[in-house]
C-alpha cells in the first residue's frame, strides 16, 4: 500500500485559523459541575475552579470555548447565573432534564476563561427568548457602564466589560429535540432581527447563525438556504455540527469519517455561495464548526426519559486508540478547509464526550483523543498547504470507495518548518507514505504515531497513561523528500526542518 504526495510551499489554502482549536463547555452532565467547577475538590481554587482542568485545557492547546450550550441554552435565563450566589435560584434545565443550581454562570465562566487564556464564544437563547434578552445580555457583558445591565454587572463586582466578540444566535434550531424549534424562515427572521439589534449595541461583534444540526437532517441544505435568505447580510458565520460513530459493521466507513466531514463542509460552502450569488453579495460567509467530535449516540438513551438530577453522568464516552485516529483525521479535514472554516469547537471539553476526564476523588486525566488534538494545535502552524495525495482505495458499505491514506500539511513561513499529518485507514496492512518535498532540503525532527496496535485501548482513572503517542524512526530521508511507514489504523505527525 503506497501513497504519494507532493509538499510544495507555493500551494497554500489559507493561514491556520487560531480558533480552529476551540472547544465547548455546556451546562450538561458533569462538564461544568464536577468538571471545570468543583468546590471542595483538592484541585479547586477558592472560587471552585479546578486547577488540574485548567492545566490540561492549556496543554490541549484550546484557543476558544463556546458557552453555555448547546441544547441547554435554548431554555436558559442568563440572569439566574449572575449576582450573589446565595440569591441564585435552582432551575429546571429542560434540555437534559437536570436541576441547574446556577452557582456557575457568566462571570464564573469569564473568570475561568481568563485563567485558561481562551477566547470566549457566547451563545444566546433563541429558543424560549428573543431579541430583547439577547440585547440585555450583550449590554451586561460589553457595555462600559451607566445603563441598567452594565451597572448590574458592575454591582456584581465586574467593573470592566467582558468585551465578548463572538456570539452564536441560538443552537440547533432545526432540531425537533430543541426547546423552541423553528422553521428555517422563522429562525432566519429572528436571527436577523436579533443580529441587527445586537450590532446597534456593539458594532464590533461577530455573529454565528445556526446551520443544520447535522448533515443527516431531512432539511439539510434547504435549512441553510432559508436561514441565509433572511440573515445573509447581517451574520458572519453559519454553524455546522457533526458527531461520528461506527454504524453497524462498517469500520472502514467510520475510519473515513473525515471524508463525510469534507463533503458536509463542501455542501455548506456551496449553499452559502449560492445565496451570495442570488443576493449579488460580495461577502463570503465563513463557517463555524462549533460542535464536532465522536459520540456513541446510538448508546445514549435519549433526552426524554432522563430522571431529574443534578450533574448526572451523561454521555461520558470512553475513547479508544481507534477513536483517536479518527479524531486526528477530522482535524485534518478542518485544516484543509481553513479558507472557509474559521472556528471549530471540539464538543465538549470535560467529562461529556470529552478529551479531559475528572472524578471527585482524583486528578484530571487525558482521554486518547486528547493527543492528536494537542499535537495538531501545537504544531499546525503558519499556512495550510494544498496536498493532493494519490492513494489506493478501500471499500466502505456506507461510503463506497474511500482513500486508504489521507495527508494534510502546514508550513510556518517564519521557521520554514513543515508539519505533515497522515492517517492510514487500512486495518490489515501498513502503508508507505512517499512525499516529494519541493524547495530546500529537509530533515525529520519529530515523527509520532498513535495507533497501529491496541486499537481498543483506553485511558481511565486507574490507568491514565496507558495510551500515549509514541515516537517512531520508521522513515528515511531520500533526495528531495522522504518516505515513512504508516501502521494499520494509525495517525502520524511528522515535523521537518
Question: 314 or 486: whose CB is closer to ligand AHR?
Answer: 314
Q: Residue count at the site for ligand AHR (CB under 6 A)?
A: 12
Q: CA geometry: angle at 122 spanning 118 and 127, to 5°?
A: 155
Among 102, 348, 410, 417, binds ligand AHR (CB under 6 A): 348
Residue 69 is a binding residue for ligand AHR (CB under 6 A):
yes
Among 71, 246, 288, 320, binds ligand AHR (CB under 6 A): 71
All three cell numbers of 18, joined, read 487560531
Question: 241 or 411: whose CB is closer to ligand AHR?
Answer: 241
Whether the bond into 409 is cis, omega within 30 of 0: no
CB neighbours of 221 closer than 8 A, spacing ≥ 6?
212, 267, 271
Among 43, 69, 64, 71, which residue's Cα sits nearest to residue 55? 43
Which of these segments, 67-75, 151-159, 223-231, 250-258, binds ligand AHR (CB under 6 A)? 67-75
Residue 355 is a binding residue for ligand AHR (CB under 6 A):
no
Burial of 311 (0-12, 13-18, 19+ CB in 10 A): buried
Neighbours of 42 (CB within 10 A): 12
Which of these segments, 33-41, 64-72, 115-123, 338-346, binds ligand AHR (CB under 6 A)? 64-72
Give 317's Cβ-side CA count (13 Å radius).
24
Residue 174 is a binding residue for ligand AHR (CB under 6 A):
no
Which of these segments, 66-74, 161-169, 318-326, 414-422, binds ligand AHR (CB under 6 A)? 66-74
Shortest approach of ligand AHR to residue 357 CB, angstroms? 16
Q: Are the C-beta atoms of residues 102 and 90 closer than 8 Å to each other?
A: yes
Residue 215 is a binding residue for ligand AHR (CB under 6 A):
no
Cα–Cα dist 261/346, whole Å: 14
Among 171, 194, 239, 496, binds ligand AHR (CB under 6 A): 171
Question: 242 or 484: whose CB is closer to ligand AHR?
Answer: 242
Q: Are the C-beta atoms of residues 70 and 352 closer than 8 Å to each other?
A: no
Give 320's Cβ-side CA count (13 Å radius).
16
Among 25, 114, 50, 9, which residue's Cα sits nearest to residue 346? 25
Site for ligand AHR in 237-256 (CB under 6 A): 241
Using CB positions, name the residue nearest to ligand AHR. Answer: 70
Q: Mask: binding to ligand AHR, 439-478, rule CB under 6 A, as x and -?
A: ----------------------------------------
Shortest approach of ligand AHR to residue 70 CB, angstroms? 3
Among 25, 347, 349, 423, binds ligand AHR (CB under 6 A): 347
Cα–Cα dist 330/16, whole Å: 15
Residue 70 is a binding residue for ligand AHR (CB under 6 A):
yes
Question: 293 or 492: whose CB is closer to ligand AHR?
Answer: 293
Q: What one-character-per-residue DSSP string does 327-370 give?
A: HHHHHHHHHHTTTTEEEEEEE-SBSSS-SEEEETTEEEEE-TTH
| Coil/strand/helix, residue 378 | helix
Shortest approach of ligand AHR to residue 94 CB, angstroms? 12
The answer for 292, left when phi > 0, alpha when psi is -120 to 50, beta otherwise, is: beta
Shortest approach of ligand AHR to residue 71 CB, angstroms? 4
Burial of 400 (0-12, 13-18, 19+ CB in 10 A): exposed
Q: What residues act catalytically?
A: 172, 291
Residue 23 is a binding residue for ligand AHR (CB under 6 A):
no
Residue 26 is a binding residue for ligand AHR (CB under 6 A):
yes
Among 353, 345, 286, which residue's Cα sits nearest to residue 316? 353
Interface residues with ligand AHR (CB under 6 A) are 26, 28, 69-71, 171-172, 213, 241, 291, 347-348
Amino acid at each position: 500500500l503506497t501513497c504519494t504526495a507532493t509538499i510544495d510551499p507555493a500551494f497554500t489554502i489559507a493561514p491556520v485559523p487560531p480558533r480552529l482549536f476551540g472547544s465547548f463547555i455546556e451546562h450538561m452532565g458533569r462538564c461544568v459541575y464536577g468538571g471545570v467547577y468543583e468546590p471542595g475538590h483538592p484541585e479547586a481554587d477558592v472560587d471552585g475552579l479546578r486547577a488540574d482542568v485548567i492545566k490540561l485545557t492549556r496543554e490541549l492547546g484550546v484557543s476558544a470555548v463556546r458557552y453555555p450550550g448547546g441544547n441547554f441554552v435554548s431554555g436558559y435565563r442568563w440572569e439566574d447565573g449572575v449576582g450573589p450566589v446565595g440569591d441564585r435560584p435552582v432551575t429546571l434545565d429542560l434540555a437534559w432534564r437536570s436541576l441547574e443550581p446556577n452557582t456557575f454562570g457568566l462571570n464564573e465562566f469569564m473568570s475561568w476563561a481568563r485563567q485558561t487564556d481562551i477566547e470566549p464564544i457566547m451563545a444566546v437563547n433563541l429558543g424560549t427568548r428573543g431579541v430583547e434578552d439577547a440585547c440585555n445580555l450583550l449590554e451586561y457583558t460589553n457595555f462600559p457602564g451607566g445603563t441598567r445591565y452594565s451597572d448590574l454587572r458592575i454591582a456584581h463586582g465586574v467593573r470592566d466589560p467582558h468585551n465578548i466578540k463572538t456570539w452564536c444566535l441560538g443552537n440547533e434550531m432545526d432540531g425537533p429535540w430543541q426547546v423552541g424549534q423553528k422553521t428555517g424562515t422563522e429562525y432566519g427572521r429572528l436571527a436577523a432581527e436579533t443580529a441587527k439589534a445586537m450590532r446597534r449595541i456593539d458594532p464590533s461583534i461577530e455573529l454565528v447563525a445556526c446551520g443544520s444540526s447535522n448533515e443527516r437532517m431531512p432539511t439539510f441544505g434547504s435549512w441553510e438556504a432559508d436561514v441565509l435568505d433572511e440573515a445573509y447580510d447581517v451574520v458572519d458565520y453559519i454553524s455546522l455540527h457533526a458527531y461520528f460513530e461506527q454504524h453497524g459493521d462498517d469500520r472502514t466507513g467510520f475510519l473515513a469519517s473525515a471524508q463525510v466531514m469534507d463533503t458536509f463542509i463542501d455542501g455548506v460552502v456551496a449553499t452559502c455561495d449560492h445565496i451570495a450569488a442570488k443576493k449579488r453579495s460580495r461577502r463570503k460567509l465563513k463557517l463555524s464548526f462549533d460542535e464536532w467530535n465522536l459520540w456513541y449516540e446510538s448508546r445514549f438513551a435519549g433526552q426524554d426519559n432522563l430522571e431529574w438530577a443534578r450533574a448526572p453522568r451523561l454521555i461520558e464516552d470512553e475513547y479508544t486508540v481507534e477513536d483517536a485516529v479518527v479524531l486526528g483525521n477530522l482535524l485534518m479535514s478542518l485544516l484543509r478547509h481553513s479558507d472557509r472554516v474559521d472556528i471549530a469547537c471540539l464538543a465538549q471539553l470535560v467529562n461529556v464526550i470529552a478529551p479531559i476526564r475528572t472524578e471527585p476523588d482524583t486528578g484530571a486525566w487525558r482521554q486518547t483523543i486528547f493527543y492528536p488534538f494537542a499535537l495538531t494545535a501545537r504544531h499546525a502552524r503558519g499556512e495550510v498547504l494544498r496536498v493532493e495525495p494519490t492513494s489506493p482505495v478501500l471499500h466502505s458499505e456506507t461510503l463506497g470507495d474511500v482513500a486508504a491514506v489521507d495527508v494534510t500539511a502546514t508550513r510556518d513561513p517564519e521557521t520554514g518548518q513543515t508539519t505533515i499529518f497522515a492517517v492510514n485507514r487500512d486495518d490489515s496492512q501498513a502503508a508507505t507514505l512517499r512525499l516529494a518535498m519541493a524547495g530546500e532540503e529537509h530533515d525529520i525532527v519529530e515523527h509520532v504515531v498513535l495507533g497501529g496496535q491496541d486499537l481498543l485501548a483506553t485511558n481511565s482513572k486507574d490507568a491514565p497513561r496507558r495510551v500515549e503517542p509514541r515516537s517512531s524512526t520508521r522513515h528515511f530521508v531520500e533526495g528531495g523528500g522522504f518516505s515513512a511507514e504508516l501502521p494499520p489504523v494509525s495517525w502520524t505527525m511528522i515535523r521537518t526542518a
